[in-house]
Amino acid sequence: MRLRWQTVDKWRQERELTKAEFARRIGAPESTVYRGLKHNSKLQPTTVTVIRGIFPEKFDRNGELTP
């Protein structure tokens, strides 16, 4: 299963992070977050790696999404 921006945005909202603060944490421009949400794009592998560091509880030991 590929990780999509809308899923990550739900996690962001659970932590009460603004989109700007979230973009700074992942090291991407804020416009990238907005475009990804608009099109519900799949995340690139390098971005998924960063997301794993921010939301480790959402992934198992193998780096796969937990159900």
For residue range 15-56, what is the model confidence (pLDDT) as tens digits?
999 999 999 999 999 999 999 999 999 999 999 999 999 999
Distant-in-sequence contacts of 58-61, Cβ < 8 A, 24+ apart: 58/11
Phi, psi of 40 (to 5 degrees): 50, 50
Structure tokens belonging to residue 21: 């603060």
DSSP letter for 66, please: P
Q: Which listed CATH number (1.10.260, 2.70.98, 1.10.3470, 2.30.42) goes with 5-58?
A: 1.10.260
pLDDT at 67: 74
The residue ranges of every structural domain in the chain are 5-58
How crowded is residue 53: how many other Cβ atoms within 10 Å of its Cβ? 10
Give every CB contact of residue 42 below 8 A, 6+ residues apart in sequence. Answer: 2, 3, 4
